[in-house]
Amino acid sequence: MKKIELQVIFHWKSAQDLLEKDASLSLGWLEIISTEQRIMLFSEKLCMLLPTVEGMIRFLVNAKKGHGIFQWVGEDGADIYPVEIRKQTIKINGVVFDLIAFKKALCQACDALNNYLQNHNPHARSEGFYLDYEQIFNKLIIK
């Protein structure tokens, strides 16, 4: 079986925002890269990245086995992207990715963010929104 490489990268409007109070509400966008595809999401109209990612994680955790449809809304007035899970794939804005590889890549990006905040702004991890995000993120890891 061919190993599927996939990467999710969080981009921030300003890295300084992650060092400030309310870091969990910082504006940004994300990028999904595979060997065949590369898409940028929420780059035209920035979104509060952590609440937006939390919405995707919540969808992944609650999606019925093998199926699900979701409108991924960028928090704070950003773009909306259609998302569909079908069997072992996830289609985001018309681009198809392996579902397991996407979940793994999203978890890796979230882990990198968690580590960054732990090392550079531990206060951010006590913010109310961050605690909600962390709770749903832990459910994705378990599944």
Q: Domain for residue 104, yes or no?
A: yes
Q: Domain for residue 119, yes or no?
A: yes
* Whole-number Å distance between alpha carbons of 11 and 98: 22
* Whole-number Å distance between alpha carbons of 71 and 143: 22
Give the total number of structural domains in the chain: 1
Token code pair at residue 110: 């979230």
Distance of CA 87 to CAs 17, 66, 84, Å? 38, 4, 10
Token code pair at residue 53: 């990612």
Structural domain boundaries enclosing 106: 6-142
Q: Domain for residue 96, yes or no?
A: yes
Q: Domain for residue 110, yes or no?
A: yes
* Whole-number Å distance between alpha carbons of 110 and 108: 5
* Whole-number Å distance between alpha carbons of 53 and 110: 9
Q: Report if pTM > 0.95.
A: no
pLDDT-flagged residues of the chain (< 50)? 1
Q: What is the pLDDT of residue 1?
A: 44
Q: Domain for residue 1, yes or no?
A: no
User: Cα dihedral sign for 22, 53, 75, 31?
Assistant: positive
